[in-house]
Amino acid sequence: MAGELVTAAARKAGVLLRPIDSEHSAIWQSLQGETVQGLNTYPEVDRLIITASGGPFRTWPAEKMRDATPAMALKHPNWDMGAKITIDSATLANKGLEVIEAHWLFDMPYDRIDVLVHPQSIIHSMVEFHDGAIKAQLGVPDMRVPIQYALTWPQRAANPFPRVDWTKIGSLDFAEPDLGRFPCLALARHAARRGGTFPTVLAAADEEAVFGFLRGHWRFGDIAGIIEQTLADHEPAAAQHPDLDTIKAADAWARRHVLEVAARL
């Protein structure tokens, strides 16, 4: 919602942002030791590859997903997270938000940030360099690891957390995300390209749409449509680089407008 403001403040203060989300921590860890051109800028990177588990509905047909219950959507196969982000994982909205975050955190154009479905959640994200080399950060899906690394960087502290048992993994699988079944990812990319207050409206609309679903006000299949219509109805601020007050106003508008959109379902 305010990535431009936060990263600008960090640059002005001369400080490094330390990400704790597992995907962005993985990218950050993969960039350690690489050529740095200023804070959070890496000129030798070709693309960032953000991995996604695919959530609980990775293999479900669209018609079955449409009427999924909150209890079904909250059964994440790999991660133990709060309700909102777990639903975002089920819609893949979380990956769209992570693309926007990666854009600001690592000064990377959107067309050089990809999403790849990786159901085992062992590779947490990857970085591909100009020479074709790829670096990845791997580990058991456990949020304590990236949080600890952000707190102790540049050191790595010992811990008793679970380790990967390579003999039991069997294989690591990858697939392109199905945007037909998971349109929230495409909506996020659309909002990101529009810029300005559109990412704010995206984030706010997604949050309200998820909360409404969890309360039983509408179906799982309505979440993407509510976000899409809210984005379509948004009249962006004149400034392409909104200040905090403009962002807060767009956020408040989106939350109110979701209710108007949902009333028309």
Of the candidate ranges 40-54, 181-195, 209-223, 247-261, the one whose mean pLDDT is the lowest:
40-54
Q: Which two tokens stand for residue 102?
A: 């990666």
pLDDT of residue 265: 83
pLDDT of residue 111: 96
pLDDT of residue 78: 82
Largest CA distance in the chain: 56
pTM of the model: 0.94
CA distance linking residue 8 with residue 107, whole number of Å: 11
80 confidence band (pLDDT: 50, 70, 90): confident
197 confidence band (pLDDT: 50, 70, 90): very high
CA distance linking residue 161 with residue 58, whole number of Å: 27
Neighbours of 11 (CB within 10 A): 16
Q: SS3 sequence, the chain?
A: CCHHHHHHHHHHHCCCCCCCCHHHHHHHHHCCCCCCCCCCCCCCEEEEEEEECCCCCCCCCHHHHHCCCHHHHCCCCCCCCCHHHHHHHHHCHHHHHHHHHHHHHCCCCHHHEEEEECCCCCEEEEEEECCCCEEEEECCCCCHHHHHHHHHCCCCCCCCCCCCCHHHHCCCCCECCCCCCCHHHHHHHHHHHHCCCHHHHHHHHHHHHHHHHHCCCCCHHHHHHHHHHHHHHCCCCCCCCCCHHHHHHHHHHHHHHHHHHHHCC
Q: Taking residues 103-119, report their average pLDDT.
A: 96
Q: Taking residues 109-134, report their average pLDDT.
A: 97
Of the candidate ranges 74-83, 149-158, 244-253, the one whose mean pLDDT is the lowest:
74-83
86 confidence band (pLDDT: 50, 70, 90): very high
pLDDT of residue 247: 97
Instruction: Tell whether the model's pLDDT for residue 41 goes beyond 90.
Output: no
Nearest CA to 93 among 157, 187, 180? 187
Instruction: Tell whether the model's pLDDT for residue 40 goes beyond 80.
Output: no
The neighbouring-strand residues paired with 123 are 138
User: How high does pLDDT run on average in the chain?
Assistant: 94
Instruction: Tell whether the model's pLDDT for residue 5 goes beyond 80.
Output: yes
User: Hey, what amino acid is at 202?
Assistant: L
CB 258 within 8 A of CB 208: yes
77 confidence band (pLDDT: 50, 70, 90): confident
pLDDT of residue 42: 77
209 confidence band (pLDDT: 50, 70, 90): very high
Percent of the chain with pLDDT over 70: 98
39 confidence band (pLDDT: 50, 70, 90): low
φ, ψ of residue 8 in degrees (nearest 5) = -65, -40
Q: Taking residues 118-146, report their average pLDDT.
A: 96
pLDDT of residue 79: 77
